[in-house]
Structure 1
Amino acid sequence: MPSPDRPRSTFAAAKGWVDPLVVLIVAVLVLGLLVPATGTFADVLAVVRTCAIVLLFFLYGARMPTREVVDGLRNWRLQGSMLGATYVLLPVLGLLVQLLPDAVLAPELRTGVLYLSLLPSTVQSSVVFTSVARGNVAAAITGATISNVAGIVLTPLLVGVLMTATSGPLGGSLSGILLQLLLPFVVGQVLQPWVGGWVRAHAPLTRTTDRATILLVAYTSVSQATVSGAWDHLTAVALVVLVAVCAVVLAVVLVVTWWGGKRLGLDRADRAALVMVGSTKSLATGLPMAAVLFSPAVAAGVALPVIVFHQLQLATCAVVARRVARVE
């Protein structure tokens, strides 16, 4: 499932370490804090947000060639390692973060870190960084695509199993998952042979849809949380601790995937792909899906770790990719 961090913005991040999308998200977060939507305007935005999420996941399905996913399964050792890093290693780390006491990291932020750990990989960012690292780009494309296809089912399933067990009921809706996420994606895949070529040829359309949906979800989630008072206990210290926790999680994944790939007998190019796909998480999937899976107050708290980790992964992987490129 392609994420919004396209090659152009990703290369910019590799040089300047600041993703323009993150700047826009921060801007709408501030707007949601200072000028939250209320009344009829809030009701209209909620409907528009639902329609945007449905369109987003339909386009995900429509632009993703099914044959690419099937062909990529042949390299089972590398693809299995990527899926293992995304849906086993990172969720385990997310669960370990839940052991931190409330005095260290607030419960809603711990919930957000766990949710972050359950998301699929990015596509564009991981592919571009694999290329910078002189890695197996074809395997990265396939691995990230498989991760995102699986994420349509696995992420809501893991949220239901792991997050309900650790955090209690989170306000999600099974009908919302089916109607807003899975059904549009399936319809897109069914129509892909006929409309996929046109959708892929009009990248600006999908890029605009991705970013507009993310910004809309970010504003409405924060706006609803502001109105409900969900931010009353959030402090600067809590944000610093959150950044530190996300940095530790990312560092562990980078080390484990690089050296674990060596133990599995993967060559340098495959290890580079494993590191870049296995360590990144999709902002494009994370924010819209959170709006469906959680109640508004929970969704706002969950969004913050996703945004923080996204910026950290861009900055860190830019450095790591260049260092891996020098490894023989």
Structure 2
Amino acid sequence: MKALILPLGLGLAFLLAWLEPEWGRTLKQAGLIPWLVMLIFMVNGYQVRLAEIPRELSFLKGLVATTVISLLLGPWLALYSAELLALPAGALLGLVVMGTVPSTLSSCIVQTQLAGGYAVWALLFSMALNIAGVFSMPLMLTLVLQESAQFQVDPWPLLRQLGLMVLLPFLVGVTLQQRLPFSPDARPLQYLPSICIVVGVWLALSDSASLFHHLDPLLLLKIGLAALVLHLLLFVGNWWTGRLLRIDRPGCIAMALSGSQKTLPVAISVLALLDGSVGEALLVCVLFHFLILFADALIAPRLSATPVRAASSGA
């Protein structure tokens, strides 16, 4: 049931934004999206477990390499992928934003475990990338979008807003975990982030409802291809970097999945902070999320013949 909430909910969000955009547009203009993003990261912070942190050198090497590839190289790979396929400005913005944001805090951990990788590594990689991403995203968006000569981004307001919307709620959630009696695994907390993502996508798409009346199937195909190219470049880059650093196979699996998946909530929050209509960019982010989850669901079971044993050894 939990796995179906997000895909079914995103489908419903598209339908509501297409048929009844006024409600979503009103709520977006009331400033609801930032609060949804803050709630997502507060819950994520509340669910984080810091009991066991690997101390071996290979973990530290993998963490540094994954951070550099995902947060610093990823935006440039996104720009070149978009330019290679001649994506229009709105789609280019969406792909660059997805290349800039950190990894997911849920799906990459689950898929790492299924693939026989170190689930603990994936968890800590995701946490570190989300914290570091607050500081890297404003800088990288400014550099990369200025390079495309189509957008101008002021990094300092973006840094301040991301700190308030992502980092601060995450730290509050970690702090509350020690003070509240509720289990981090409580069922409402398992569903709440996905519901917030769905509502945020509905509000953002409703504000650009006219986009649905001019969708070009060829453009959708190009967006999908660009998303897969970016994901595979990040996946292969992290995998082979891990091999060159002599990191074992389960560690390379954690690097590849954590460093190539990208988080939709942060992408929504970044687009909400940018001026102008971002409907086409948001469409790219949602398509990227769908395609990558599907692609990794096919890849993960083939990475290891003994997933349970390998995953447990990483703990």
1:120-176 deviations in whole A, cap 9, x for unaligned? 111221111111121122211111111112122322332233224423236x89557
Unaligned runs of 5+ residues in structure 1 are: 1-5, 10-18
Moved over 6 A (4+): 66-74
Matched, 1:297 2:280: no
CA 143–194 in structure 1, closer or farther in 2 if over 3 Å, else same: same
Superposed, 1:157-176 pairs within 5 Å as 157-166=139-148, 167-169=150-152, 175=157
| Distance (whole Å) between structure 2 residues aligned to residue 318 and residue 283 of structure 1 | 17
Matched, 1:92 2:76: yes
| Distance (whole Å) between structure 1 residues aligned to residue 56 and residue 248 of structure 2 | 17
Superposed, 1:86-125 pairs within 5 Å as 86-100=70-84, 104-125=86-107
CA 126–32 in structure 1, closer or farther in 2 if over 3 Å, else same: same
Q: Which of the residues 178, 188, 191 maps onto 2:160?
A: 178
Moved more, 44-53 or 152-161: 44-53
In percent, how many aligned pairs have the same letter?
Answer: 21
Partner of 2:219: 238
Q: Which of the residues 214, 220, 234 maps onto 1:253?
A: 234
Task: Kindly provide the amino acid, as one letter, of the partner of residue 154 in structure 1.
Answer: S
| Distance (whole Å) between structure 2 residues aligned to residue 290 and residue 249 of structure 1 | 19
Partner of 1:83: 67
Q: Which of the residues 277, 280, 298 maps onto 1:319?
A: 298
Normalised TM-score (structure 2): 0.82
1:30 Cα offset (Å): 2.3
Moved more, 197-206 or 74-83: 197-206
1:113 Cα offset (Å): 0.7
CA 26–273 in structure 1, closer or farther in 2 if over 3 Å, else same: same
| Distance (whole Å) between structure 2 residues aligned to residue 38 and residue 125 of structure 1 | 30
1:118 Cα offset (Å): 0.5
Partner of 1:309: 288
Q: Which of the residues 190, 202, 207 maps onto 1:207?
A: 190
CA 250–189 in structure 1, closer or farther in 2 if over 3 Å, else same: closer
Contact 2:134 2:166 in 1 (8 A): no
Moved more, 252-261 or 127-136: 252-261
Contact 2:36 2:196 in 1 (8 A): yes
Give the CA RMSD over aligned residues: 3.3
Task: Kindly provide the amino acid, as one letter, of the partner of residue 71 in structure 2.
Answer: Y
CA 152–61 in structure 1, closer or farther in 2 if over 3 Å, else same: farther
Contact 1:68 1:142 in 2 (8 A): no
Contact 1:59 1:185 in 2 (8 A): no
Normalised TM-score (structure 1): 0.79
| Distance (whole Å) between structure 1 residues aligned to residue 237 and residue 158 of structure 2 | 36
CA 174–196 in structure 1, closer or farther in 2 if over 3 Å, else same: farther
CA 145–200 in structure 1, closer or farther in 2 if over 3 Å, else same: farther
CA 94–190 in structure 1, closer or farther in 2 if over 3 Å, else same: same
Contact 1:153 1:182 in 2 (8 A): no
Equivalent residues, number: 305
Partner of 1:14: none
1:96 Cα offset (Å): 0.7
Q: Which of the residues 7, 12, 29 maps onto 2:14?
A: 29
Structure 2 residue matching 1:201: 3-state secondary structure:
coil
Task: Kindly provide the amino acid, as one letter, of the partner of residue 134 in structure 1.
Answer: G
Partner of 1:277: 258
Matched, 1:137 2:119: yes
1:44 Cα offset (Å): 7.1
Unaligned runs of 5+ residues in structure 2 are: 311-315
Partner of 1:49: 33
